[in-house]
Amino acid sequence: MKRNVRVLFATYEAAPFLKIGGLGDVAGSLPLALKENHCDVRVILPKFSMIPSEYLEQMRHVGEFQVPLGWRQQYCGIEELQYKGITWYFVDNEYYFKRDGVYGYFDDGERIAFFSKALVEAIQYLDFEPDVLHCHDWHTALSSVFLREFYRGIEKYDRIKTVFTVHNLKFQGQMSDNVLGDILGLSDIPAAVNQLRMDKDSVNFMKGAVSYSDVLTTVSPSYALEIQTPTYGEHLEYIFQRRNSILHGILNGIDTVAYNPKTDPWLKKNYSIQDLSGKQECKKTLQQEVGLEVNIDKPLVAVISRLTRQKGLDLVINKLPEFLNHNIQLVVLGTGDRDYEETLKAYALGSNGQISAQICFDEGLAHRVYAGADMILVPSLFEPCGLTQMMAQAYGTLPIVRETGGLKDSVIPYNQFTGEGDGFSFANFNAEEMFDTVLNAVDVYDHHKEAWLNLMKAAMKKDHSWNRSAKQYAEIYYGLHPELEREDPIVQKRTGKAAKKVAGEEKKAEKPKRK
């Protein structure tokens, strides 16, 4: 059958509509790349009240129905929006989604169960028959369970294959087992109870998806191996071991248009791999902006991160005196644990312009840090993928990373004998080992200028685009449906007034460019 595979992409957040963490970046960018790789993709997510009004006002109501949830029958409306050539569906229920926040409510289990059930139920009412349902993290994990237990035998569902992507195994959706009957309606189905139950008192939503889905993916090849071990498996390693033949590690990408020093509107002076002169100007501007001594010859190390132990802040805090002793500038941008924030601010105050603590998240400043720093430090305890190191490489800022997860997969450590590499790395979660690697990088920066320039150029040449990732996902989708033969990438052909009308609508839907 010659047609492109049809994919329904289910997520709890997606940029630009709603972005809390890295999942929002993935769900906002990957569908666009999949469209260019012979996939007919549509995305479904909750209609949260904090979605910007410019998008809410353009949504079109396309249907409504009741969702069975345990003993309840809950209203569900479906809104539709065209954005960047993709159809986006929004699941509407004000009781669950008209709130000030997204996560952290007492009834999160019920809210997420509703969304997982609603998106499966919605397939009956959409003018779209997916071949693949691609779910992301524990917020959509129950969809694979519901699909098999409640919807098999219905014609529109029988050909649907399921793909489940683990973005961060730390968050699994573990709930009291009371939800099995009261909310999920699964207590009378022994197979489902067995696959969801974590222990005698609790169930685990993600465990259900890992057990039920046709294909499992995670966000880097190394993380796919790590989660099969007790150290990283978060008590699910035995299932990943059992199902490792269907487990794939696919490295995430970044938005190579937004993160491009040649065109980045946040920078005082743009630059490129052909002309790197603007990077020094960016460094000087950054030093002025964050209160560091203005000296472009001093090595400048950056940390852009949530300030948590998982991100390696213990190691950074431990070595703050060493940064001062070795005359290395450090700028930290991020928010997180209060103790880390206060310690960083205290050191910055007494550092005489050598350490800067920017306890905030500022997108423009983040871009200027990527451009102005010489190195970026990512010493994570674990890191499923990580995007910071890829963004830094795009700007010729060399990453210093711990060899874990996606950090290991995306950074080739410098080899002083061959000159190869595009960053620096260390193996163990150890402050001494981390700082030795920082000193090694600083030595290359100070005394081996040609080698440093080659490393910068190698980093900037790397392909971190979503197209690389999308090709691998497309292979998985088509592997699940070998009867399908790819057509050309989906292009909506429009002429005359219709073309002008649609172009105007899509232009209106996109956010205004930053000035």
d(CA 5, CA 89): 18
The 10 Å CB-count burial string (b at 16+, else e) for 337-349 is eeebbebbeebbe
Q: How many helices (H) and strands (E) does the chain have?
A: 21, 18
Report the sign of the C-alpha dihedral through residues 381, 382, 388, 394, in that order: positive
N-term to C-term CA, the chain: 48
CB atoms within 10 A of CB 205: 28
User: Is 474 strand, coil or helix?
Assistant: helix
d(CA 9, CA 254): 18
CB atoms within 10 A of CB 170: 10
CB atoms within 10 A of CB 80: 17
CB atoms within 10 A of CB 410: 25
200: exposed, middle or buried (C-beta count within 10 Å: 0-12, 13-18, 19+)?
exposed
Q: Which residues pair with 202 in a beta bridge?
A: 176, 199
19 is in an annotated binding site: yes
Residues 6+ apart with CB under 8 A from 491: none
The structure tokens 């699909």 sit at 147
d(CA 201, CA 503): 54
Residues 6+ apart with CB under 8 A from 153: none
> Mind spelling out the 3-state secondary structure of 357-415?
EECCCCHHHHHHHHHHCCEEEECCCCCCCCCHHHHHHHCCCEEEEECCHHHHHHCCECC
d(CA 3, CA 220): 29
> Mind spelling out the 3-state secondary structure of 444-456?
HHHHCHHHHHHHH
d(CA 378, CA 478): 36
Instruction: Report whether 399 contacts 393 (CB < 8 A).
Output: yes
Q: Which residues are annotated as a binding site?
A: 19
Q: Which residues are annotated as a binding site for ADP-alpha-D-glucose?
A: 19
